[in-house]
Structure 1
Amino acid sequence: MGYACALITVVIWSGFILVSRLGAQGTLSAFDVAALRFGVSGLVMLPYLLRHGTGGLTLLQVAALGVTAGLGYALLAYSGFHFAPAAHAAVFMPGMLPFFTAALAWWLLGERWTRGRLLGLAVVAAGVALLVADELGRGGTTWRGDLLFLSASVSWAVFGVLARRWRVQPLQATAVIGVFCLVTYWPPYLLSGHSNLLEAPLAEVVIQGVYQGLLAVVVALITYTRALQILGPNLTTTITSLTPALAALSAVPLLGEELSALAVLGVMIVTLGVLVSVIRPRSTPTAQVSDED
């Protein structure tokens, strides 16, 4: 059951990148996809929030979580997909997230970096350098999307550190973020008059709404949390570190994106770096690691 939950999480996270890139090639804008994400997740989690409340979080704390993991992450990520391919999103968002999180945890929480994490960072940097070299060789402008993806990853990392400091439970975080984004984003979105929801094909709206608002936000949270409970943080994060490679390679047959040999090598090296950073040695042959990232 634990392995199944971890693998489902990897598939959903990888699918988020593919579906988001697909949405960027359709009728919907980044603001439309964000509206669907916030609308569906907010409505789904509203009953939970009404029943359990904010769990003691202040309005300022709710806003901080909502801006970082909700508005900031989604708008930056969805905008990035209009400029850069799925492979770049896979590297610069889930690939770099562990290191942004670790850097912020060191700065704000005083957590120390392990040798494994430092080694992993060096390996990831090498993979990113290959992607940058490949892009410079092509003379493209996907660097705009790359910067947006990096910013989205930083935004999510800030949320992760804040949630850890405030001891926010996963379902509680999902509920407050979803409802916060629903009530703060939808009114100005509707008043702007720039919605493409009515012009877009119904299938496109349904796919983005269900995947972004339900699968990527709610279902993936449940499966990831369940995997953590059964397998522990070390094994779970090891499995989920496969997300960058799966998303990047799947984009070739599913979205028709082209990957040069240099880009494929870069993605593989980044995946290896993430894997190195999350694998922790046991202190004894029988001891279990209890600390979490």
Structure 2
Amino acid sequence: MSIHSRNFPAGLGWAAVAILVWSGALVMLRLGVTTSLNAYDLTMLRFAVAGLLLAPIALRRGRGTDRLGVMGLGAMVVCFGAPYVLLVALAMKTAAAAAGALNPGAMAIVSVLLGRAILGDRIGGARLIGLALTTLGSC
């Protein structure tokens, strides 16, 4: 059995976990903004639960600042930390149906474009088709 075929079931499993986490996060954000919880409550809950779950790993392996650097850590906090979650939670109050479709698509497009701008990744072939289809689907 090749390395690729041995990793395929694990890859499918982790893909399913990612789908469950993302879809669950959007559903919980929407549920939260339609109840008495506000965007700040939801942001606190999201990071408090994640912090508690990941604290043992961070304590054992470190925070990762040695690999990310200060700028990388700052970019992660600004682009996907509390400001991002607050923005999505506030947007859910007015455009919940659109958030479920647009948020993951926009993240995919931006990640490919940032990979090109920052890392010099080549955008060609399947990536270009994926970008076009995702952009078309967002319209």
- Cα deviation 1:21-47 (Å, max 9, x = unaligned): 111101001111001112222233223
- 1:106-160 deviations in whole A, cap 9, x for unaligned? 111111111322223333333222xxxxxxxxxxxxxxxxxxxxxxxxxxxxxxx
Unaligned runs of 5+ in 1: 130-293
Which amino acid in 2 is paired with 1:74? V
Q: CA separation in 2, counterparts of 1:51 and 1:7?
A: 26
Look up the match of 2:44.
35
Counterpart of 1:122 in structure 2: which amino acid?
A
Other-structure match for 2:110: 100
Structure showing the higher helix proportion among its residues:
2
- Structure 1 CA distance, aligned partners of 2:59 and 2:14? 28
Residue of structure 1 in register with 2:78 after alignment = 67
Q: Deviations over 1:51-107 (max 9, x none)?
A: 332242545543332232212221111111111123x11221112222211111111
What is the distance in 2 between the residues matched to 1:60 and 1:116?
A: 30
Distance 1:12 1:82 in 2: 20
Distance between the aligned counterparts of 1:63 and 1:4, measured in 2?
31
For 1:1-293, list aligned pairs within 5 A: 2=10, 3-55=12-64, 56=66, 57-86=68-97, 88-129=98-139
Listed as ranges, the gaps of 5+ residues in structure 2 are 1-8
Change (3 A) 1:123 1:5: closer
Give the conservation status (yes or no) of the 8 Å contact 2:105–2:138: no
Paired residue type of 1:17: L
TM score, norm. by length of structure 2: 0.76
Aligned partners of 1:11 and 1:79: how far apart in 2? 22
SS at match of 2:32: helix
Q: Which has the larger radius of gyration?
A: 1
Q: Distance in 2 between matches of 1:82 and 1:54?
A: 34
Post-superposition Cα deviations, 1:142-196, rounded to whole Å, max 9, x if no partner, equal xxxxxxxxxxxxxxxxxxxxxxxxxxxxxxxxxxxxxxxxxxxxxxxxxxxxxxx
Question: What SS does the aligned partner of 1:85 have?
Answer: helix
The separation in 2 between residues aligned to 1:43 and 1:18, in whole angstroms, is: 21
**1:12 shift after superposition:** 2.7
User: Using the alignment, how far apart are the partners of 1:96 and 1:90 within structure 2?
Assistant: 11
Residues in 2 aligned to 1:127 and 1:64: alpha-carbon distance in whole angstroms: 28
**Counterpart of 1:82 in 2: which secondary structure?**
helix
